[in-house]
Amino acid sequence: MDFLCPLTIILLLFIPLISIFFSIFFSISSSSTKSSTTLRPYPIIGNLPQFLLNRHHFLSWMTSLLSSSHNLTITFHRPGNVRGLITANPSNLHHYLKSHSPNFPKGPRVIHHLQDFLGRGIFNVDGPLWLSQRKTASFEFNTRSLRNFIVLIVHHELHSRLLPLLLNSSRSSSPIDLQDLLERFAFDNVCKLAFNHDPVSLSDAPESRFARAFKIAAELSAGRFRYAVPKFWVITRLFNIGSERKLKESIAVVHDFATQIIKSKKGKPNASAVAAADDDLLSRFLANEENNSDEFLRDIVISFILAGRETTSSALSWFFWLISLNTTVEDKIIQEISSIRARKADDKEVFEFEELREMHYLHASITEAMRLYPPVPVNSAMCMNDDVLPDGSVIKKGMFMAYNSYAMGRMESIWGKDCLEFKPERWLDNNGVFRPESPYKYPVFHAGPRMCLGKEMAYIQMKSIVACVLERFRVDVVEKEKIPEHTLSLTLRMKHGLMVRIRDRY
């Protein structure tokens, strides 16, 4: 949203003229009668002026627009006659994510933007290719061996790296960036899960070349969606200039690294038998000989790393900021952890899977944090054929369809008058047991056929981190009264990190 180009500036200079033209000759299309009155488009440039004026607080702006719409749906016009619907209506989500999901694939726009980085990985394809990858991944994510592998990875990273780093920090008065630590933790974990490689990001050593290149590639690939003029990035890529040149260099590093690991695994004697015995995702896909070309394996591994690199770290960064403002919630979490610790059968520092499952209040607190600050705030698809949504909005073939999770978490009509409050109790029944909501009301992990496969893995990681950290330390946010600025990338990251001071709890 911060990308301005000469063409954009020229267009802006002509806004007054276009406005006159608009007032005389232009009338708003009625093709989406129930959702087209919120944002008034201008000829040629669509809603570009409003977009530019509100780009620095895009999510709060969209939340305001959606909440003022009688059906929680608005029409959006981008330059070049690119139109779409953005909704926060749960009935619309059920329609396009489940009951009519074949009519709303990711589509060429999303796929094209991420093609260079993600290739044909599971998060960037539609149709039979997506289905085959989904089936393989779904089977693997539901195996007990993979769950145990995830628990072992998290335990190792906590015990040998994160807790010692926080202990050292507690002996100093200097603040640390907790978001950065959480991102490094997540990156190490997902790399081990994806291809059993440890980049050792969570350490005092400089960031590895692969980790740095991956971060840049992810950020710049997401940046393609934020150009004020659609597809301007295609021109800069053609001439290999600006951010596209840096993106190309970073992708080359990531692809080369992943390809070398794949070739190394394939080059081992009895590679298929060895892969079948290993627990990482790459080995599991290698064991499936139907489609295990180097390029295919590289793309799917990179997709899973992308999915796990920032989502949990984003969720936990906002969680730690929220509990710094709500000490009563923190006290209840500590009480729950202490109760389970007292019943723990061994003296291990970290908690086992079954013990984490007993932490209902912690589960509710993390879930509530993601309601207000979802890791992926906006998700979109493309309409294949003309359709009518349950709220009466008409969507035409070729239009994009998006839902706004960030706005949905702030809708009084969905969550009640206390929708802006951080209130974990809304997720608990009368016995204090966690009670999930419909994924179409709470689409943080997506919904329908594309429901997130890593949901359980994410909760294991997040609950393990919070339980071990809060049991030993107090996390004092340096500027807790100030709402952190965010960057709108593929995930909802804090723009300046989360500066905290770590103190011993006892």
Residues flagged as binding site: 452
Residues 6 or more apart whose Cβ sits within 8 Å of residue 189: 150, 153, 154, 157, 308, 461
Of all helices (H) and strands (E), which one includes residue 82? strand 82-87
Residue 385 identity (one-letter amino acid): N
Q: Residue 120: left (phi > 0), alpha (psi -120 to 50), or beta?
A: alpha
CA 294 – CA 291 distance, rounded (Å): 9
Q: How does DSSP assign 290-344, residue by residue?
A: TS--HHHHHHHHHHHHHHHHHHHHHHHHHHHHHHHH-HHHHHHHHHHHHHHHHT-
Beta bridge partner(s), residue 195 = none
CA 387 – CA 103 distance, rounded (Å): 8
CA 117 – CA 217 distance, rounded (Å): 7
Q: How does DSSP assign 13-29, residue by residue?
A: HTHHHHHHHHHHH----
Cα diameter, the chain? 78
Of all helices (H) and strands (E), which one includes residue 367? helix 360-372
Q: Which residues are part of a known binding site for heme?
A: 452
Q: Whose CA is closest to 488, among 242, 247, 226? A: 226
How does strand 486-488 pair with strand 492-494?
A: antiparallel
**DSSP state, 7?**
H
CA 93 – CA 407 distance, rounded (Å): 13
CA 465 – CA 182 distance, rounded (Å): 9
Other residues' Cβ atoms within 10 Å of the Cβ of residue 252: 12
